[in-house]
Amino acid sequence: MFPDNLHDKEELKYLEALKDGHQYAFDFIYTRYSKMLLPKLQRMIKLNEVVDELLQDVFLKVWLNRAEIDLQKSFKGWIFKIAQNTVYGYFRKLALDIKMQRYLLETFAEFYDQTEDYIFNKERVELLNQAIEKLPAQRKEIFRLCRIEGKTYQEAAEILSLSPSTVSNQLVSATKYIKRYVFFHAQEFIVFCIAAYLKG
C-alpha cells in the first residue's frame, strides 16, 4: 500500500541521532515524513480529526520504537508500515463498535451468509485458530471434532459423552461465534467495509 525507498545521507545522519534519543532529529523526521504520510492517510480516512490523531500516533510509535530503526534498511518502508498498521488498527476498532457491526451486517448481509467458506480458507488459518481458542472448552472441542476432523454429531457425542442434540446446538453456537469473529477481524475485509462506509 505504501512505497519503499532508501534514505539519503542527510536522513541517515538524523536517523542515527534519533536512535540515540535526540529531539532535534525526531523533529526533522517528523517534518519530512508527516508531509508524505498526511495525504495518504487523508485518502484512506475522510475525517480530518481522526487523521491528525492517527498521524500523531504513528510518530509516537516511531519515538517509542526508535531503537528498532535499522540503518541498513529503508526508513520510509518502516514508518509507512507503522502507518499502515495504525490505520488497520483504527479500522478494526471501528468495526468492533456495536453500531458499526449492525451497519456492516445489514450492508454486507449476502457476504456474511457466505463467510463460512471464507473462514476456512487457508489464508485465514491463524484468524480461525484465534477464534477457536476463545470458545468455551466444550464448545471448542465439539467444533474441532466436527468441523476440523470431520466427525459426525453421533461420533462427537460418543467421544464427549454428550447427546447428539447437545453437540448440534453447541456446534451451531460455535460456528456462529467464529463466523462473526472472522468477519469482523479479517484485516482486508475490514478495510473494504470501512472504506465503503466512509464513502457512503
Question: What domains sit in the chain, N to C, each tagged with a CATH number?
Answer: 9-94 (1.10.1740.10), 98-199 (1.10.10.10)
Question: CA 179, CA 4: separation in Å to the nearest integer?
Answer: 35
- pLDDT top residue among 187 and 36: 36
Q: What is the pLDDT of residues 119-169, one digit of tens each?
A: 666 666 788 888 889 999 999 999 999 988 999 999 999 999 999 999 999
- Residue 147: per-residue pLDDT: 87
Model pLDDT, residue 99: 73
| Among candidate residues 84, 15, 24, the one with its CA nearest the CA of residue 54 | 84
3-state secondary structure the chain: CCCCCCCCHHHHHHHHHHHCCCHHHHHHHHHHHHHHHHHHHHHHCCCHHHHHHHHHHHHHHHHHCHHHCCCCCCHHHHHHHHHHHHHHHHHHHHHCCHHHHHHHHHHCHHHHHCHHHHHCCHHHHHHHHHHHHCCCHHHHHHHHHHHHCCCCHHHHHHHHCCCHHHHHHHHHHHHHHHHHHHHHHCHHHHHHHHHHHHHC
Among 162, 161, 133, 158, CA closest to 148: 133
Q: What is the reported pLDDT for 157?
A: 94
* pLDDT over threshold 70, residue 2: no
Task: Give CA–CA dist 79/42, Å, rounded.
Answer: 16
C-alpha cell at 7: 534514505
The pLDDT value recorded for residue 92 is 77
CB 185 within 8 Å of CB 128: no
Greater confidence (139 vs 178) lies with 139
Give the lowest-confidence range in 85-99, 160-174, 178-192: 178-192
- Model pTM score: 0.53
Looking at per-residue pLDDT, the higher value among 192 and 61 belongs to 61
pLDDT in tens, 25-81: 999 999 999 999 999 888 877 778 888 999 999 999 999 999 999 998 999 999 999
